[in-house]
Amino acid sequence: MKNPQADTPGAILASAHRSFGIEIAALQALDARLDASFEQAVDIILGCKGRIVVTGIGKSGHIARKIAATLASTGTPAFFMHSAEAIHGDLGMLTGQDVVLALSYSGAGQELLTILSVVKRMGARLIAMTGHPDSDLARNADLHLDAHVEQEACSLNLAPTASTTAALVLGDAIAVACLEARGFSREDFARSHPGGALGRKLLTLVRDVMRKGDALPVVRADTPVPEALAEMSAKGMGMTIVLDDARRPIGIFTDGDLRRLIASHGDIRPLAVSVGMTRGPKAIGPGALAVEAATQMDAGRLNQMLVVDDDGLLLGALHMHDLLAAKVI
C-alpha cells in the first residue's frame, strides 16, 4: 500500500536525509568503539602465511565479496568464499595457513556455524565480524570485531542498511591499515591494476609506445629541404630527424622550422635541411615512463621527442598523439 506521506512535498529528500543521518551516526559510533581488537585483527592478517578467505551469505555476503576484492587489490592476497557453497565443497579452497574473515550481523547463520567447526579443525584462524558479541560465531572465533548498529536506515528497521555500511567501512579500514603497514605503493597498486588508468601511467614505458625502425622519418644534414619534406609527409610525424654518420641526432626539422625558413630565405629548394633545422633536440631514454615523457613534452610545448640510448644513438621517437593513443595522458 502506498504511503500517503510520500506525496508530501519534500518527503523523499527528508527520507534520504534520515537515511544519511542514521548511517553517519552508526559509523561515528563504530569509530568511537574501535579498540585493540582491530589492531589484533590487522596483526593476524599481516601474519597470515596463506590467503584471507572472506565469507558471508545474503547481504553480508555481498559486503564480504567487496572486502575480499579490496584486500586483494591493495596487497593482501584474499578471495571470497560463499558460505552456502562452502559447505557443499568450496571448503576445499581452505588451508590451515589461511585466515577466515566471517561476516554475519546476527552471528547465528547456520552455514557459518557449520564452517566454524571445519576451520577450527584445520587450524586456520577465524576473525568474526558481527553485530552481536554474544553470538555463537563471535564467541567461538579467535577474534571478534563488533559491527553493531543501533538501528537500520530502513524505516522498518529490518533491511540491512546501516549494518552493511558499518561492515563495509570496517573492512575498508582493515584493508587500508594493512596497505599502510606493508608500505604498499602506487607502483604496487598499478601492478595489480594494469588495465586501469593508473596502471597505464605507472607501467607504460617509452619503449612501449615509441615509433621505431622504418616508421621513423630520418635524413642526413646535407639532404635538400624538398627531400626532407617528402620524408616528413611519408612518415606523418610533423618532423624529420637529422642524423650524423654515427646515427646520432643532431637536429630535427619541423613544420615550424619550414615556415621560418621560407620567411627568411624565400626559395628553399636549393637549401640543405641543416640550414633550417632545430639543433639539440629534446630526447629521453627508452626505459623512462611514458607519462614522464608526456610531462616533459607538455612543459616544453613539444609535439615530438626523440628516444636515444646511453650513447646518444637514435632508437625511436614519440609524438604526443602516440601518448594520447596509449592513454597515458
Burial class (CB in 10 A: 0-12, 13-18, 19+), 78: buried
Give the separation between CA 226 and CA 232, rounded to whole angstroms. Answer: 10
Cβ atoms of 216 and 238 closer than 8 Å: no
**What 3-state DSSP class applies to 48?**
coil
Question: Model confidence over 185-213: pLDDT tens digits?
Answer: 666 665 665 555 555 556 688 998 899 99
Q: What is the mean pLDDT of the chain?
A: 89
Cβ atoms of 170 and 33 closer than 8 Å: no
Tell me what percent of the residues of the chain surpass a pLDDT of 90. Answer: 61
pTM value? Answer: 0.64
Question: Model confidence over 85-126: pLDDT tens digits?
Answer: 877 878 888 999 999 999 999 998 888 888 888 888 888 999
pLDDT at 190: 58
pLDDT at 195: 52
pLDDT at 186: 66
pLDDT of 174 over the 80 cut? yes
Structural domains of the chain, with CATH: 4-184 (3.40.50.10490), 206-325 (3.10.580.10)
pLDDT at 39: 97
Question: Long-range contacts of range 194-203, CB-CB < 8 Å, 24 or more positions apart?
Answer: 197/327, 200/326, 200/327, 200/328, 201/289, 201/290, 201/291, 201/328, 202/289, 202/291
